[in-house]
């Protein structure tokens, strides 16, 4: 069996605890999932694969080249979801130009004010979703200001409108906005799956250990290939998605 990303970080005691505690059971996939793409924007990915220590000099929230290892996996999940008519819902941040509404982010982010300077130097917006996985006309985009895609947003109401019973979560950061979204989805009694190779973080240890913790308690953390197989079993066209037509004048 292939080693999971977190195995190398666990002590012998940790492994024994997980083996005997009962945590980490498979929760199973739902019948009506939505694919969530969390915060895959230029602020977290940069404009091309760049070593992280170079990238964070500019985009201080960047995850560097690890973002660009995950993006092709996210792309395949988006393509398969669209093929089967499964909802694709993106989240990205929104903030005033003066960052007044940054709120508690300002207490923990010493470089928050750098964002405006980088945006001025770039042709891309910090919260613009990267072009390689850009939203299509039938997809939904949720704007947020805090880690969870659910907090203070209309994500839960969209899932209700769509009749979803489960979510597949991808994106960044694994330890931050992905985890927060997963825990809120779990708390709302959705079945949750996480694409192990479709998530990324700026710290590799944080990425691995948070995958471990989510798999133990809140979600089924599985490879993209397994999720593609699952999506392929779903009946096509079971959701009433936005038609993507421009609004009438």
Classify residue 100 by its DSSP letter. G
Of the two residues 224 and 113, the one the predictor is more confident about is: 224
Q: Across the strands, what pairs with 36? A: 89, 169
Instruction: Please name the residues in contact with 60: beta carbons below 8 A apart, sequence gap of 6 or more.
Output: 111, 114, 115, 118
- Mean pLDDT value of segment 190-203: 98
C-alpha closest to that of 190 among 26, 31, 20, 10: 31
Look at residue 249 in the predicted model and tell me its pLDDT: 46
Instruction: For 29-232, give the CATH class.
Output: alpha beta
Of the two residues 116 and 32, the one the predictor is more confident about is: 32
Exposure pattern of 163-172 as b/e (b: 16+ CB <10 Å)? ebebbbbbbb
Crossing angle of helices 224-232 and 65-84, rounded to 10°:
10
26 pLDDT tier (thresholds 50, 70, 90) = very high
Distance CA 34, CA 190 (A): 10
pTM of this structure? 0.93
Distance CA 174, CA 195 (A): 10
96 pLDDT tier (thresholds 50, 70, 90) = confident
Look at residue 109 in the predicted model and tell me its pLDDT: 77
Look at residue 100 in the predicted model and tell me its pLDDT: 85
Look at residue 2 in the predicted model and tell me its pLDDT: 77
C-alpha closest to that of 147 among 209, 93, 211: 93
Distance CA 33, CA 162 (A): 9
pLDDT tens for each residue of 139-176: 999 999 999 999 999 999 999 999 999 999 999 999 99
Of the two residues 98 and 201, the one the predictor is more confident about is: 201
- Let me know: does 75 contact 132? Beta carbons within 8 Å: yes
Look at residue 245 in the predicted model and tell me its pLDDT: 79
Q: What is the residue-averaged pLDDT of the chain?
A: 92
Distance CA 216, CA 220 (A): 8
113 pLDDT tier (thresholds 50, 70, 90) = low
Q: Is 165 left (phi over 0), alpha (psi -120 to 50) or beta?
A: alpha
Distance CA 44, CA 200 (A): 10
The backbone torsions φ and ψ at residue 92, rounded to the nearest 5 degrees and listed phi first, read -155, 165
Does residue 247 surpass a pLDDT of 80?
Answer: no
pLDDT tens for each residue of 123-142: 578 899 999 999 999 999 99
- Mean pLDDT value of segment 40-49: 96
Distance CA 52, CA 62 (A): 7
Q: What percent of the chain has pLDDT over 70?
A: 93
14 pLDDT tier (thresholds 50, 70, 90) = very high
First to last CA, the chain: 58
Look at residue 120 in the predicted model and tell me its pLDDT: 46
Look at residue 236 in the predicted model and tell me its pLDDT: 94
Dihedral of the alpha carbons of 163, 31, 208, 202, in degrees to the nearest 10: -40
């Amino acid at each position: 069996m292939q080693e999971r990303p977190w195995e190398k970080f666990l002590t012998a005691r940790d492994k024994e605890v997980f083996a005997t505690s009962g945590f980490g059971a498979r929760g199973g996939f739902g019948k009506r999932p939505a694919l969530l793409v969390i915060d895959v924007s230029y602020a977290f990915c940069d404009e091309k694969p760049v070593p992280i220590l170079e990238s964070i000099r500019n985009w201080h929230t960047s995850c560097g080249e690890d973002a660009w290892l995950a993006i092709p996996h996210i792309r395949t999940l988006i393509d398969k979801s669209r093929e089967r008519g499964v909802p694709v819902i993106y989240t990205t941040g929104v903030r005033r130009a003066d960052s007044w509404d940054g709120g508690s982010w300002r207490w923990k982010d010493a470089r928050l004010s750098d964002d405006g300077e980088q945006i001025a130097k770039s042709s891309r917006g910090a919260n613009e979703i990267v072009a390689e996985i850009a939203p299509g006309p039938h997809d939904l985009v949720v704007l947020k200001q805090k880690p969870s895609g659910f907090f203070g947003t209309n994500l839960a109401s969209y899932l209700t409108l769509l009749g979803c019973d489960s979510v597949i979560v991808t994106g960044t950061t694994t330890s931050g906005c992905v985890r927060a979204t997963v825990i809120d989805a779990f708390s709302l009694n959705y079945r949750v799956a996480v694409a192990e190779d479709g998530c990324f973080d700026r710290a590799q240890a944080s990425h691995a250990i948070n995958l471990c913790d989510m798999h133990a308690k809140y979600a089924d953390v599985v490879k993209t290939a397994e999720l593609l197989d699952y999506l392929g079993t779903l009946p096509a066209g079971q959701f009433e998605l936005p038609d993507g037509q421009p609004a009438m004048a």
